Every structure is written in C-alpha cells, then in structure tokens.
Amino acid sequence: MIVGIDAGNNEVKLAGSLGVKKFCSAIGEYQERNLVSNHGDGMVFEYEGRKGFAGQLALIESDFGSSIMGDTKAHEDAKMRVLLALHSYGDSDIYEIIVGQTISRHTPEEKERIKQMLVGTHTITVNDKTRTFTIAKCQVAAEGATAFFSSPVPLNGKIRIIDVGSGTVNCATLLDMRYVNRDSETLPFGYNTIRNKDLNELARGIFSHMSKRWKRDDEVYLVGGIAEMLLEPMKTYFPNVKVLYPSLDGKEYPPIYCNAIGFYNLGRVLYDENN
C-alpha cells in the first residue's frame, strides 16, 4: 500500500487509497490512571520496550506530552508519528511511503537518516491492538514544494508556495513544475513557535524574509492548516496569492492535506515506475 505521510509537529496527516486522515502529533510518557478515559484521538502505544501516550491523550495525561519542533524530521518522535499513522491506516502488511523533510534540511545525508530509521519491519501495539508491518520503500520529499502535486490542475510557469507549519515555514519556488533551489528556503519559525499570533505580522515576517528574491506580483499559493486564515493578510504583500486546495480521486480537501496528498501522488508515480 502506498501512503503519503506529512508527520507535522502539530498534526500528522495521511493520504492514500483509503482517503485522508489526521491526528494530534503529541507524544508523551505513560502514566498509570485510576480512571481510564480516552481523549479525542488518544493512543496508548508500546514499541520496542517503550510505552507511552500519543495524540490528545499525551497532551492531557503526560507530564512531558509535547511535540519536538525543529527543521528536521530525522528524530525518534517523527518515527513514532509515522508508525502510529501506518498502524491506523488500513491493514496492509507492506507499505511504500513518502514522507516529508523541510527544504533547508532536504539533503542527501538527512534523507538517508530518515530512510534508515523507517525502512524495515516494525511491531507496534496501539490501544491493545498489535500489528506487524514492513516499510519496504521510503522516499523523502521536500515539504511545501511537493504540495503542487496535490493540485487538480497543472501549475505551470513560475509559482511560489508558502507552507506555514507549526514549527517552520517552507517557501518553495517551481518553474514549469521543476524545483528552483536558489529561490526556496525554510524560515526558522512557525505558527506555534511565535508568541504574537497576529497573522498580519506573520505575513509581514514571511515577506520580509523572501522579498529579496520574490516579487509582489508573483503567483503565490498558500498551503497548510492556517492557509485560509492567512490569505487576506498575505494579500497586502502578494496581491495574486491564492489558497491551494488539494484533490484526491476527484474530491477536494482542506489545504492542510496538500503535502500528504502531494506525497501520495508522487509515490504513485515513483513506485509504479519501479514495479
């Protein structure tokens, strides 16, 4: 089964033949509870001797329930997010996945680290259900840039994509559907890492970082969980900005799924070509 997984710092998003889904990214330590009750997408997991809480349950019941922020997905929390996602998605024994990495850390070394920690056979128990599955193939795509694969129509010419995440902002440039490295970068802040939640100031901050190479009249697309809220503030700096709405099997989804659907569509091309 091919699955695209956007293992974000705030929410994990998945896309595949079974549709899309998402859950809270928080991971926390296990705690004994006198009264057991679940919370939202709460999960109790066991993996390789580690027992803990995930999802909303980690935020509520763990002393250290949180999500590791940063500009790389090459760490243990990101691995757990991917395994929890696959445990919940279908009943396949073998998965071929596409996951994301920030533009600034989308290097051969970092991609190899991510592949090495994910590829292989895993046994994980979630909410008393034990599953063993194999991640047979893993490719690492650039967050933001790959979101254009989610569009139901070709995005030709020069386009800019702003992917505002909880920990970082990925700003990608594509020319006739080809990635332009010199005009792309990851900004070292996200919506959950800034103290001032004023979206007008966030828009200004993004523009101030990108204005050396990007022009006001560029064709810009917003993706991510706050894309719709950021649209009007961003128009002050990029009048031609639009929200990119992804499509999967003819159905339109909110922009928070752009990366996951883009990853999945890329996976269908890459893995079909290799079979």
Q: What is the pLDDT of residue 273?
A: 53
Using DSSP's 3-state secondary structure scheme, residue 96 falls into: strand
Q: What is the reported pTM?
A: 0.93
153-243 has the same fold as 2-144+248-274: yes
What are the boundaries of each domain within the chain? Answer: 2-144+248-274, 153-243
CATH architecture of 2-144+248-274: 2-Layer Sandwich (3.30)
Distance CA 236, CA 164 (A): 17
Q: What pLDDT, on the 0 to 100 scale, is given for residue 40?
A: 66
pLDDT tens digits for 173-199? Answer: 999 989 999 999 999 998 888 888 899
Annotate 26-92 with DSSP letters as a single string.
-EEE----SS----TT-EEEEETTEEEEETHHHHHH-TT-B---SS---SHHHHHHHHHHHHHS---
The model's pLDDT over 50-60, given as tens digits with 9 standing for 90+, comes to: 999 999 999 88
CA-wise closest residue to 162 among 261, 68, 238, 263: 238
Q: Considering only 60-69, 94-103, 231-240, which range has the smallest mean pLDDT?
A: 60-69
The domain defined by 153-243 folds into Nucleotidyltransferase; domain 5 (3.30.420)
Check whether 135 has a pLDDT greater than 80.
Answer: yes
Nearest residue to 263 via CA among 85, 134, 141, 176? 141
